[in-house]
C-alpha cells in the first residue's frame, strides 16, 4: 500500500523517516540473521562453518533435495497463474463496475473481502468436492490450485486496485479518450491500465507473496508447493529446511524486484515527482 503512505502530508522529517526505516529493518533483519546463524552452527561442538550449505549444493540440482526445487517450480507456476487469473478477471470487473455499474460496488467489495473472514481450513472443506470436479475438467495439475489461490488473494488485490481506482477519475478519463476517437479496448489499454499501474503492481506483489507463503490449502488438497515441501524437509533435517527457507526468501525478494522492474515507470518520471 505504498500509494496510500505517499498520500500523507506533510511528510515526516528525514530523521523520523530513517528511524522508522531502521526499526522496520531491524524487525525484518533479526529473524533472518538468526536463521543464517542457525544454519552455520556446527552441531554440539560449537563454532560455525558452511558445511551444511555446501552439503545442500553439492548434490546439485538432481541431488536429494530435488523435491524442493520441483516444489519451488510449482509455487512459481502457481504464483504466475494466480496473478494472471487475478488480473484477467478482477481488473476488468472492477473497471466495469466503476464505469457502468457503480451500484454494484458495495456488493463486489463485500464479495472480495469475504475470503479474509473465512479461515483457510474452512475454505478447504468447501473446496475439496469442488476440486474433484476441477480435476475432471482440467486434470490434476498443480496449477489448478491457482483457482483457489485466486480467491484467497482477492481481498488484498481488491484493496490495492480499489485505492488506485478511486484516486483517478475513471469516468472522465475514459470519456475524454472516447471523444478523441479511442475505442473501448484502446481506452482500457492506453488510458486506464497505465494509470492503474501502481495498483495493479501492488496487487501482483501481494498475490505473489501470498501464494509463495501458502500452506494450508496445498497441504490439505495433497498438492506440493514450496511450503509443503519445506515442512517435509524440516521433519528430516531442520537445518536444511531453514537453508531452503532462506533461499526461498531470497528468491521471493528477487522475484518481487523483477516484477517491480518490469512495471517500473520508464524514463525520468519518478524523479519529477509524478507519483502524486
Q: What is the DSSP-derived secondary structure letter of residue 101?
A: -
Any contact of residue 236 with other proteins (CB under 8 A)?
no
Binding mask 170-189 for other proteins (x = CB under 8 A): --xx-xxxxxxxxx--x---
Any contact of residue 6 with other proteins (CB under 8 A)?
no
Any contact of residue 271 with other proteins (CB under 8 A)?
no
Binder of other proteins out of 12, 59, 92, 194 (CB under 8 A):
194
Any contact of residue 51 with other proteins (CB under 8 A)?
no
Which secondary structure element, helix H or strand E, spans residue 264, and what is its range?
none
Which secondary structure element, helix H or strand E, spans residue 9, and what is its range?
none
Which residues have CB under 8 Å from 55's CB, separation 6+? Answer: 240
Taking the least distance from each CB to other proteins, the nearer of 14 and 274 is 274
Any contact of residue 58 with other proteins (CB under 8 A)?
no
Any contact of residue 270 with other proteins (CB under 8 A)?
no
Any contact of residue 195 with other proteins (CB under 8 A)?
yes
The answer to whether 248 and 68 have CB atoms below 8 angstroms apart is: no
> Quick one: which segment of 37-45, 114-122, 157-165, 191-199 binds other proteins (CB under 8 A)?
191-199
Alpha-helical segments (H) within the chain: 2-7, 14-40, 51-58, 66-85, 91-99, 105-117, 120-138, 145-152, 154-167, 170-179, 184-186, 193-195, 197-212, 216-220, 226-236, 238-263
Cell of 208: 505473489
Taking the least distance from each CB to other proteins, the nearer of 128 and 180 is 180
Taking the least distance from each CB to other proteins, the nearer of 72 and 187 is 187
From CA 214, how far away is CA 208, in angstroms rounded? Answer: 10
Closest contact distance (angstroms) between CB of 270 and other proteins is: 12
Closest contact distance (angstroms) between CB of 17 and other proteins is: 23
What is the binding site for other proteins (CB under 8 A)? 168-169, 172-173, 175-183, 186, 191, 194-195, 197, 272, 274, 276
Amino acid at each position: 500500500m505504498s500509494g496510500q503512505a505517499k498520500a500523507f502530508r506533510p511528510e515526516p522529517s528525514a530523521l523520523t523517516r530513517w528511524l522508522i526505516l531502521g526499526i522496520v529493518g531491524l524487525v525484518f533483519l533479526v529473524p533472518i540473521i538468526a536463521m543464517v546463524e542457525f544454519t552455520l552452527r556446527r552441531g554440539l561442538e560449537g563454532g560455525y562453518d558452511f558445511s551444511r550449505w555446501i552439503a545442500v549444493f553439492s548434490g546439485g540440482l538432481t541431488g536429494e533435495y530435488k523435491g524442493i526445487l520441483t516444489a519451488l517450480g510449482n509455487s512459481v507456476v502457481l504464483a504466475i497463474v494466480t496473478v494472471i487469473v487475478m488480473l484477467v478477471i478482477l481488473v476488468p470487473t472492477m473497471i466495469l463496475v466503476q464505469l457502468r455499474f457503480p451500484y454494484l460496488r458495495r456488493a463486489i467489495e463485500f464479495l472480495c473481502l469475504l475470503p479474509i473472514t473465512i479461515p483457510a481450513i474452512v475454505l478447504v472443506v468447501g473446496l475439496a468436492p469442488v476440486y474433484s470436479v476441477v480435476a475432471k475438467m482440467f486434470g490434476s495439475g498443480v496449477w489448478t490450485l491457482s483457482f483457489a489461490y485466486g480467491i484467497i488473494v482477492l481481498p488484498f488485490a481488491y484493496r490495492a486496485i480499489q485505492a488506485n481506482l478511486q484516486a483517478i477519475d475513471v469516468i472522465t478519463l475514459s470519456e475524454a479518450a472516447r471523444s478523441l476517437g479511442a475505442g473501448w479496448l484502446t481506452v482500457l489499454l492506453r488510458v486506464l491500465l497505465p494509470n492503474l499501474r501502481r495498483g495493479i503492481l501492488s496487487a501482483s506483489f501481494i498475490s505473489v507473496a501470498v501464494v509463495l507463503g501458502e500452506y494450508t490449502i496445498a497441504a490439505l488438497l495433497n498438492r506440493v508447493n514450496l511450503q509443503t515441501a519445506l515442512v517435509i524437509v524440516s521433519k528430516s533435517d531442520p537445518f536444511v529446511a531453514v537453508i531452503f527457507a532462506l533461499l526461498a526468501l531470497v528468491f521471493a525478494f528477487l522475484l518481487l524486484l523483477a516484477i517491480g522492474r518490469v512495471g517500473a515507470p520508464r524514463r525520468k518520471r519518478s524523479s519529477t515527482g509524478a507519483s502524486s
